[in-house]
Amino acid sequence: MPASVVEVLRFCIVVLFAGVGFQLADALSDQQDMAGVIDASAMGIILGAAIGYVLGGVIARLTGRTLARAEQSLSDRSAEQVLAGLIGAVLGVLLAAGLTWPLLLIGQPVVTLPLFFFVCITVGTLGHRLGLARREHLLTLLAPRTGLRRPQPPVASLPRLLDTSVAIDGRIIAVVRAGFLHGPLLVPEPVLAELQGLADAGDDLRRAKGRHGLDTLDVLRREPAVDVEVVPDGAVEVPEVDAKLVRMCLDRGTALLTLDTNLAKVAALAGCHVMNLHALTLALRPPVGAGDSVGVHLTRPGKEHGQAVGYLDDGTMVVVERARDRIGSDVQVTVTSVLTTANGRMVFAKPGAASRPGSAGRAGADERQEPAERPGGLPAPR
């Protein structure tokens, strides 16, 4: 605390003690006939001011330390936590005062005043804690009446709460290393317990899944791009793990990272931000697959004998076998395979009758069957 503020507080305490000294001296002078060179009231003011000056510095510095600790405690809380706690405390004090004020009218003040303040402080503290614990519901309830609007942080900046299915699948490691996922990664204790239960199971398949999930978390813990943190169970009263995850996402304001389609739907309906890796897989799948019929304009010869090269609308190279004599023309080809590397994607095709003619780049893609799912839940790679 600045020295100037300390001196101002000391001055206030000096004035307070001087006033107390004046009142005491005045009361004593009425009971006794005090005469002397110095008037009793003046003596009381001087003594009170002297005591106030000595104690004022101590009290002001203690007040400064208390304020510094309070500032440190508040700096660890968000603005909505502070506001919700303050609202809860005020409501608690008002409720306690409304219930106990009749005691002030029927009892002696020496008894009723301490009881009144005791009840107000107790209920106010309870209201503060309830306000912090239920800040989401409290601020949502007050928002329409007060005009408060909680700012919605961008989804990319939210911490991610990890689901068991993501740990078992394991491909999140590749997603992190590719730079698509970074920042805080929260692992709830119920997820760890579920993985440990699988790892200790008697069934070989379940045991392998559990151990693979624990290995995935161990690898993620050493990745510099993410900060893996184990968080306690925030919904002890909820028995199901999926329901716990939804509750924890809502209470903590985090995003849910999952591969469980049903859990993703339930969490989205509950108002959670959901990051479903299935959606990422579907977004990154090739625009065409084996067996699709596409139209392509052949522009130049390929490296191998008889090959011709064309391009899809998105720039994907298409290498067509036995089509060099048709360079410069539009042909309908059937995709035989798709090669995806770190440098891009290449499609291999052969001339043939179209199973379903369509425009270049996407013809026949809408008729393509969905790829079979692997045991992990994601579509099998082509």
pLDDT in tens, 226-239: 889 898 887 778 88
Instruction: Please give the structure tokens belonging to residue 211.
Output: 């151990």
State the average pLDDT over residues 369-381: 40
Could you give the CA distance from residue 218 to residue 226 in angstroms, rounded to a whole number?
Answer: 12
Beta strands in the chain (DSSP E): 160-162, 183-188, 226-231, 255-258, 273-276, 293-301, 308-311, 317-320, 330-341, 344-351
Parallel, antiparallel or unpaired: strands 293-301 and 330-341: antiparallel
Residue 377 — very low, low, confident or very high, per pLDDT cuts 50/70/90?
A: very low
pLDDT in tens, 175-212: 899 888 888 899 999 999 999 999 988 888 999 999 99
Please return the burial class of 72, using the count of CB atoms within 10 Å of its CB with bins 0-12, 13-18 and 19+.
Answer: exposed
What φ, ψ does residue 319 adopt, rounded to 5°?
-100, 120
Q: How far apart are CA 291 and CA 354, in angstroms?
A: 9
All structural domains of the chain with their residue ranges: 3-136, 155-284, 287-382
pLDDT of amino acid 368: 41
pLDDT at 153: 60
Class of domain 287-382: mainly beta
Each residue's pLDDT tens digit, 6-29? 788 788 888 888 888 888 877 776
Cα atoms found within 13 Å of the Cα of residue 281, Cβ hemisphere only: 20
Phi and psi angles of residue 252, each rounded to the nearest 5 degrees, phi first? -90, -15
Query: What share of the chain in percent tops pLDDT 70?
Result: 80
Res. 251: pLDDT tops 60: yes
DSSP 3-state assignment of 270? helix
Per the structure block, which two tokens stand in for 56? Answer: 């004022």
Strands 317-320 and 330-341, sheet pairing: unpaired
Architecture of domain 155-284: 3-Layer(aba) Sandwich (3.40)
Query: How far is 222 from 285, CA to CA, in rounded Å?
Result: 29
Question: Pairing state of beta strands 255-258 and 273-276?
Answer: parallel
Q: How far apart are CA 382 and CA 47, in angstroms?
A: 93
Q: What average pLDDT does the chain have? A: 79
Two domains, one topology: 155-284 and 287-382: no
Report d(CA 110, CA 103) in Å as an integer.
12
All residues at 6 or more sequence positions from 341 whose CB lies less than 8 Å from its CB, including other chains: none
| pLDDT tens digits for range 294-303 | 889 999 998 8
- Going by the DSSP 8-state scheme, the letter that residue 135 receives in this structure is H
Give residue-wise pLDDT tens across range 122-164: 888 888 888 777 776 766 666 655 555 555 566 666 788 999 9
DSSP helix/strand/coil, 201: coil
